[in-house]
């Protein structure tokens, strides 16, 4: 009879509604978490006394993190931005703390080539600890570089190091998000590491 739903149809419809509601709730939860990370500067300890990661912090937040963790090297993954207030504040705070400031421009949406990965490895290997690495959100570029530090410098297992690229830090490479490039770079590094 047209217009009447069978038992199987009702069951499928209920399953679809339940799945849709679960996806919406998960999305809302992820958005709430991302908002929290943004509001708090996404500041995290990677290895106590050695490496810290964050988003781009305001003047007071940056100075606080520098002092709290006794930062000796700042690695800015956004690259030099002369004239931008955040950048000038960061340079001034780094100088006031006697910390070295390194600009290392990279994109969150492009897999870095061998030359850029070599540059990152050299910078990480020569930097005086404690180090603060940051990008704009502290999720993608900072996650990749933190993972590389753990793998290359701290010699942590790949499974442990790779946790730096996770939703826990706001890294969300799904549903067409172009920051999946950071995961591609990580896989590329692991392939070379295992050879």
For 70-120, where are the E strands, in sequence order?
Answer: 73-76, 100-103
Backbone angles phi, psi at 174, to 5 degrees: -105, 170
Q: What is the model's pLDDT at position 32?
A: 60
pLDDT at 2 over 90: no
Say which residue, 171 or 7, is predicted with more confidence: 171
For 91, the token pair is: 């340079």
Range with lowest mean pLDDT among 10-19, 105-114, 133-142, 160-169: 10-19
Q: What is the model's pLDDT at position 22?
A: 47
Q: What is the model's pLDDT at position 178?
A: 85
Summarize the confidence of residues 182-186 as an average pLDDT. 93
Backbone angles phi, psi at 81, to 5 degrees: -140, 60
**What separation, in Å, do the N-terminal and C-terminal C-alpha atoms of the chain show?**
64
């Amino acid at each position: 009879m047209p217009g009447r739903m069978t038992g199987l149809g009702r069951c499928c419809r209920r399953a679809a509604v339940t799945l849709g509601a679960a996806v919406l709730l998960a999305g809302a939860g992820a958005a709430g978490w991302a908002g929290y990370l943004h509001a708090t500067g996404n500041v995290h300890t990677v290895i106590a006394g050695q490496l810290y990661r964050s988003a781009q912090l305001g003047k007071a937040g940056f100075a606080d993190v520098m002092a709290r963790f006794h930062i000796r090297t700042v690695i800015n993954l956004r690259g030099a931005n002369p004239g931008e207030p955040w950048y000038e504040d960061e340079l001034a705070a780094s100088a006031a703390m006697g910390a070295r400031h390194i600009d290392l421009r990279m994109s969150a949406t492009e897999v870095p080539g061998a030359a850029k990965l070599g540059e990152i490895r050299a910078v990480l290997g020569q930097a005086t600890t404690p180090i603060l690495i940051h990008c704009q959100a502290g999720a993608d570029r900072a996650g990749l570089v933190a993972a590389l530090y753990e793998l290359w410098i701290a010699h942590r297992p790949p499974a442990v190091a790779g946790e730096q690229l996770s939703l826990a830090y706001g890294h969300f490479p799904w549903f067409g998000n172009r920051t999946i490039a950071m995961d591609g770079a990580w896989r590329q590094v692991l392939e070379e590491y295992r050879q």
